[in-house]
Chain A
Amino acid sequence: MNTVWALAKVVVLEMVRRKDFYVLFILSVLLTATAGSVNLFNDRSIVRYLKEICLLLIWVSGLVIAITCTARQIPAEREHRTIFPLLAKPVTRAQFLLGKFLGCWLATGLALALFYLFFGLVSASREHSWPLVNYLQAGWLHWMMLGIVIAFTLLGSIVFAAPSSNGTICFVCSAGMLLLGRHLNKVALSLAEPLQSLLYGLYFALPHLELFDVRDLIIHNWQLIPWGIIVLATLYAAAYAALFLFAAWLVFRRRPLN
């Protein structure tokens, strides 16, 4: 575990020392602060729409950070050849992958925490209330969902050599699943066999990222989700992340590095 942790720390440190994250954060801060200062037609309910826009921004930024940070990990290790002195040490390929996953996931979590904190402060200044537990549940599920995306992107970075193509594919797949995932079964009903069975198969096999999208908890101050459901959702995310990581290990474990 020490090895995995050591690898993860370097990934987080890299993100902290690179400028990409700060650009996204400053952009989000500016947009959130601008949205927070808007008061159209003296309509109090406008705040909800603004919250929706800001949360969408956080979701998009979260996806971008998670995918770009993960997609470049292994290709950059190979391109800069830092993987050689690293794997010349007693590090298994499984530890290497786990370290990268953990690092990207923690780095993304750090970014999410900052985003939600800033958004919460702006929102609380307008509404004079801060339903902290709602924020925690929404943020936690968001982070779990990004765990699946990160594991999927890590698998992609072993299959596809170019980080840009991997990043694009992962972004399209994740956004597609978030937007269309819940409708796949309905679309399947309108199709003829064997496409119907195929789409049904996909509906049950693919991870339903949209289940983790509980932004309404914050936007509409919905009632809290029962903690049992949160635990189940966490296990669901962990199972899919483990599945993708296992697939990544299967591809990577015997791959020659030269």
Chain B
Amino acid sequence: MDITLSIENLRVEYRSRDLGEATKVAVRALNLRVGQGEVFGFLGPNGAGKTSTMNVLLGFVPPTSGTARIFGVDVREPIARQRIGYLPEQTYYYKFLTVEELLRFYAGIFQIPKAVTEQRIDAVLKLVELDHARKRQIKTYSKGMQQRAGLAQALINNPDLLILDEPTSGLDPIGRMKVREIIQRLKSEGKTVFFSSHELGEVETVCDRVAILNQGELKTEGRVSDLLREHSANLEQIFLKLIGFAPQP
């Protein structure tokens, strides 16, 4: 299987601006490999280092040491992001634009030819069911619609790798189901999906493999079915056990 994403010995530190305050280590010696066509769940409690790892993958933060590669290209090179689609946890878009204008803008950044751009806009708006609201400014959208607009922008370049940061956060059950359907559809098209989520039931349903991170360290990594069999428990129980959380009897 071709490797889409690889992380080797990754360490991310944040230096404190306050004198006398220690450097914070967000990620320590992380090694991960995600193969082409996999749906990979990246799990961990808040502050585990998931967002820091994603920030490195997307070039927002330079790694302190170690390397991260996407399609074999170092993530510090902007070209590594040519085949990526990224959906942030919250909707962070230019809300004075209509969704159509937003998609045209991002298509311009990917240098997609104009004729193809219009086809892609039609296709992704249909996929996320926003075709009827394409001429409305994003600021008039409901939260669910904004999240779907986010998914549309992540798909505009027909990416081979999708990085989704808690894609169902704050969505109602119907919204969650739609996002799940889209992920499964992308998987059936052979796309790789790397996503973080706190919805463990959802992860269990959608993912091929998962990694669980705690305090910057990788606790486990493997196929969902193997983990479930090995621990004779569901993913939530495995997760709680690995992060050292003992539920009250």
A residues adjacent to B (C-beta < 8 A): 2-3, 5-7, 9-10, 13-14, 17-18, 80-82, 84-92, 254, 256-258
Contact = CB atoms under 8 A, between A and B. Distances in A.
Contact of A14 (B14, B60, B82, B96): B96
A90 B94 contact: no
Contacts of A5: 108
Contact of A257 (B61, B79, B82): B61
A45 B69 CA distance: 72
A88 B93 CA distance: 13
B245 interface: no
B88 A84 contact: yes
Contact of B61 (A85, A90, A92, A256): A256
A14 B105 contact: no
B59 interface: yes
B109 A3 contact: yes
B105 A6 contact: yes
Given A2-B108, A17-B96, A82-B94, A87 B88 contact: no
Interface string B47-61: 000011001001111
Contacts of A89: 81, 84, 86, 106, 109-110, 157
A119 to B, nearest CB: 29
Contacts of A90: 78-82, 109-110
A81 B82 CA distance: 20
A13 B96 CA distance: 9
A9, A14, A88, A258 — most chain B CB neighbours (10 Å): A88
Nearest to A17: B96
Given A85-B92, A90-B79, A90-B82, A6 B109 contact: yes
A88 B106 CA distance: 11
Given A9-B108, A258-B60, 6 more contacts: A5-B108, A81-B90, A84-B86, A89-B157, A256-B62, A258-B52
Interface string B147-161: 000100110010000
Contact of B94 (A2, A14, A92): A14
Interface of B: 14, 51-52, 55, 58-62, 78-82, 84, 86-88, 90, 92-94, 96-97, 101, 105-106, 108-111, 150, 153-154, 157, 163
Q: Is the interface of B mostly helix, strand, loop or mixed?
A: mixed
Nearest to B85: A88
A6 B108 CA distance: 6
A18 B137 CA distance: 13
Contacts of B86: 84-85, 88-89
A14 B139 CA distance: 13
Contacts, number: 88
A91 B58 CA distance: 11
A81 B105 contact: no
B60 A256 contact: yes
Contacts of A81: 88, 90, 92
Query: Which 6 pairs across A and B sit closest by C-beta, in order of nearness?
Result: A6-B108, A88-B86, A81-B92, A257-B60, A256-B61, A88-B58
5 contacts: A18-B96, A82-B92, A88-B81, A89-B81, A90-B82
Contacts of A18: 96
A86 B82 CA distance: 12
B25 to A, nearest CB: 14
Nearest to B154: A85
B74 to A, nearest CB: 13
A5 B107 CA distance: 12
Nearest to A99: B109
B78 A92 contact: yes
A246 B59 CA distance: 21
Nearest to B150: A85
A14 B102 CA distance: 12
B31 to A, nearest CB: 22
A114 B210 CA distance: 58
Nearest to B157: A89
Given A85-B150, A91-B78, A3 B111 contact: yes
A9 to B, nearest CB: 7
Nearest to A3: B109
A88 B105 contact: no
Given A82-B93, A91-B78, A3 B108 contact: yes
A6 B163 CA distance: 23
Contacts of B110: 89-90
B105 to A, nearest CB: 6
